[in-house]
Amino acid sequence: VADGWTVRGIDALTDYYDPAVKQRNLATLLAGANFQFVRADLRETPLAPLLDDTDVVFHLAAQPGVRTSWADGFATYDDHNIRVTQRVLEAVRNRPGTRLVFASSSSVYGNPLRVPTDEGDQTRPFSPYGVTKLAGEHLCRAYADNFGVSVAVLRYFTVYGPRQRPDMAIHRLIECARRGTPFALFGDGSQIRDFTFVDDVVAANLAAATAEFPSGTPINVAGGSSTRLVDLVAAVGESVG
């Protein structure tokens, strides 16, 4: 919006976390003249009218979270991450010349055999969430190969920054440090993550909107670091303290 694009944002404002937080995040955008917000559920709303006059579709919608993707929770991930992606691809398929930028995840690698991870490394998801994101990638490539859909696949690595989801580790860490409450660490803390600042993710999305590359090519969007979670806990505690 700040760069002068006319933007139509679509969101169901699900209750995965407090929708009021999402409404606050929208406030600045809603005050602008070249932003339109449509509250709609992509699982069922007609998509063709929403794509009228669009040059680029940034498909960022998904059900996030790893732990809740198991057991009965999988149905929600199947709906939001696989079926919705297929519906979006069908809609873009009928709009020749429209670029689709698909938000995938480093979760498609699972527990990588090496760090840093290269796009050519094995994809072996370690959670149902990762499986659904990889399925979305396969759908993107299928539509690229069969129908010539122009699609960029971006694999985000643990995004952090302003307006971050409240269930994410860095958000929870800072809140615990500020309040002096214990932080629930899953595992032994030796897990390695590459944390990526949100501004870099935005820059990658904007670049992917116009760059030339083979359709369906996966691209890692990462910060270039390898941080153990236990070291992150210590660093956040020290900086906030």
**CA dihedral for 58, 59, 62, 64, sign (positive or negative):** negative
Tens digits of per-residue pLDDT, 43-61?
999 999 999 999 999 999 9
79: confidence class by pLDDT, cuts 50, 70, 90? very high
Residues 6+ apart with CB under 8 A from 119: 155, 217, 218, 219, 220
Is 109 a catalytic site residue? Answer: no
Q: Are 221 and 156 in contact (CB under 8 A)?
A: yes
Select which of 129, 143, 156, 160 is catalytic: 129
What is the pTM for the complete model shown?
0.90
Residues 6+ apart with CB under 8 A from 41: 12
Q: From CA 173, how far away is CA 50, in angstroms rounded?
A: 38
Tens digits of per-residue pLDDT, 152-184?
999 999 899 999 888 887 888 888 888 889 888
**CA dihedral for 82, 222, 192, 189, sign (positive or negative):** negative
